[in-house]
Amino acid sequence: VNDEIERFFSVSLDALSIVGFDGTFHRVNPGFTRVLGYTSEDLRGVRSYDLIHPDDASQMRERIEQGKSGEAFHSVDVRIRAKSGEYRLLQWSSIPIVEDQILYAVGRDVTEERKARADLMTAKEGAEAASRAKSEFLANMSHEIRTPMNAVLGMSDLMLDTDLDRVQQEYASAINSAGSALLEILNDILDLSKIEAGKMELENAPFQLRDRLQSIMTVFSVRADEKGVELAFEVSPDMPDLLIGDHGRLRQVIMNLLGNAIKFTESGQIHTRIESARQDKDTVEVLVSVRDTGIGIPLDKQERIFEAFTQVDGSSTRQFGGTGLGLSISRQLVDLMHGSMGLESTEGVGSRFYFTVKMGIQHEEVSAAVDPGPDGSADPGAPAPVPAADSAPAAWTTGLHILLAEDNPLNQMVATSLLKKDGHTVEVADDGQQALEMSVDGAYDVILMDVQMPRLDGVSATVSIRERERQQGGHIPIIGVTAHAMAGDRERFLEAGMDAYTSKPVRRDALRVALGEAMAKSCKTSN
């Protein structure tokens, strides 16, 4: 038995030592020499205390004192000066034998491991900081881009409503559609960053499936006609019509697949089919497939196209535009809706993209409760706005006296013109402070409140107005107007006391919807 233990002693990778209570070394193993460099010779006359890092000495002394009364210790980190002079971090365990006045001590060198762990922590913190910086950058950038976009889209909208000759009309529409395309890309980038930051929030509201699909098809039929591609769609009869879920995001995914199908198909047919893959009393797994007769996708690229920024043809000479974000966003949205997305495709023959999402089933026929449409199209994921004007409560669409709080002169001009065109009267406050003062005597029907303003921002101004109303009574509807479309903003605005919000660039339809929503809501609160 002794021989066996002897063999373990000599073969151990850890530093094994027998040390007297007085600190002198009685025996060390080859592992000790390998880790710390000292041979038994070197250690003659050396006391173990002398090798301990000064900062660790007092705790080690304490342990050894405890050892003298028979107490063992486990996994205690202590730095030891090696023969080379550098300190190594060893993790020690030890058992004392009180009658013999000695300790059996095992030390494991964890210097590299701890360093790697610390490096990893630093790297992780660095990456987290970078990711936070990225999100902040995106939020700021979206603000910076959306503000001038507001002017580009708004002004060209207005211009298109004036008397233009044919060429001017053409130029103005080009500006308008280029602006819309730019906004779409911006929205994609924002969506992706929101999903990556775990900040994508889904709506859960009732909607009518067949109606929504019809409006999507209407949007695409023009483009399909232009290309001479046939567009067909069918919904299986067992598919319930009243669903609960995020119709805006569902639409976004379908529109992305349809957009791609049209883009990559020169002739033939695009067939969209919607069926119920599984169904119980309250939920349905909606299976959507979009089949095209287009160029198809080579097998080795089929998985990769779901990655962000990836396209089948990524070369600079490629024929088709696009950012490569659509499918990546779509797949992640589908994941968030508890489904999955896949494809079958043969090069030169065509592709079939399909996905499932889980939706709730709305039972009673309460059509009044059905979401009238995107909340003022504040939904930044809407790639091409389907006209929502039909769903705005008509009673509020004209004749209001509106206070517009907005610091940017271009935006003031756009919003004022849009509102005046709808038959409202408008007065402008240049910042939140002025809005607070101007609204003191209750002369306005509603306030349109920009969020970022100098002196007093829109959220603070709203809080102050609501505070004043708590003392003096009344409730003026307030609509937040924001270029920030990050998750959590909506809650922040509503919590501050806003009744609705709409995102920049301000579009006429969205504004109408928001106005309707705010007026309807404040009607309820004041009754």
Query: Using CB under 6 A as the criterion, which residues of the chain lie in contact with ligand ADP when the complex forms?
Result: 256, 260-261, 264, 292, 294-295, 297, 305, 311-313, 322-328, 351
Which residue's Cβ has the minimum distance to ligand ADP?
322
Checking DSSP bridges between strand 425-429 and strand 401-405, what pairing results, if any?
parallel
Task: Give me the least distance between CB of 230 and ligand ADP, in Å please.
Answer: 15
Contact of 468 with 123, CB cutoff 8 Å: no
Task: Give me the least distance between CB of 483 and ligand ADP, in Å please.
Answer: 24
Task: Give me the least distance between CB of 331 and ligand ADP, in Å please.
Answer: 9
Residue 212 or 331: the one with the smaller Cβ distance to ligand ADP is 331
Residue 111 or 302: the one with the smaller Cβ distance to ligand ADP is 302
**With left for phi above 0 and alpha for psi between -120 and 50, is residue 385 left, alpha or beta?**
beta
Task: Write the DSSP string, 222-258.
Answer: HHHHHHTEEEEEEE-TTS-SEEEE-HHHHHHHHHHHH
Residue 257 or 418: the one with the smaller Cβ distance to ligand ADP is 257
Contact of 290 with 257, CB cutoff 8 Å: yes
> What's the rounded Cα separation, in Å, for the pair 516 and 426?
17
Task: Give me the least distance between CB of 263 and ligand ADP, in Å please.
Answer: 6
Task: Give me the least distance between CB of 211 and ligand ADP, in Å please.
Answer: 26
Residue 187 or 433: the one with the smaller Cβ distance to ligand ADP is 187
Task: Write the DSSP string, 45-107.
Answer: T-BHHHHB-HHHHHHHHHHHHHHHTT--EEEEEEEEE-TTS-EEEEEEEEEEETTTTEEEEEE
Write the CA distances from 434 to 424, 438, 461, 507, integer angstroms: 20, 6, 9, 25
> What's the rounded Cα separation, in Å, for the pair 378 and 514?
9
Task: Give me the least distance between CB of 145 and ligand ADP, in Å please.
Answer: 19
Residue 8 or 320: the one with the smaller Cβ distance to ligand ADP is 320
Contact of 211 with 349, CB cutoff 8 Å: no
Task: Give me the least distance between CB of 297 and ligand ADP, in Å please.
Answer: 5
Residue 64 or 295: the one with the smaller Cβ distance to ligand ADP is 295
Residue 185 or 443: the one with the smaller Cβ distance to ligand ADP is 185
Residue 28 or 297: the one with the smaller Cβ distance to ligand ADP is 297
Task: Give me the least distance between CB of 225 and ligand ADP, in Å please.
Answer: 18
How many CB atoms are closer than 10 A to CB 228?
9
Using CA atoms of 516, 522, 526, 527 in order, give the dihedral in degrees to the nearest 10: 50
Contact of 252 with 288, CB cutoff 8 Å: no
Residue 116 or 185: the one with the smaller Cβ distance to ligand ADP is 185
Task: Give me the least distance between CB of 274 and ligand ADP, in Å please.
Answer: 17
Write the CA distances from 231 to 214, 219, 296, integer angstroms: 12, 11, 18
Q: Specify the DSSP class assigned to residue 338.
A: T
Contacts of 384 (CB under 8 A, 6+ apart): 180, 184, 219, 255
Task: Give me the least distance between CB of 156 and ligand ADP, in Å please.
Answer: 24
Write the CA distances from 344 to 289, 297, 303, 313, integer angstroms: 11, 9, 11, 18
Give the HSE-up count for residue 144: Cα atoms under 13 Å, Cβ half-sphere: 6
> What's the rounded Cα separation, in Å, for the pair 511 and 336?
29
Element (H, E) at 476: none
Residue 291 or 484: the one with the smaller Cβ distance to ligand ADP is 291
Task: Give me the least distance between CB of 189 and ligand ADP, in Å please.
Answer: 12
Residue 188 or 499: the one with the smaller Cβ distance to ligand ADP is 188
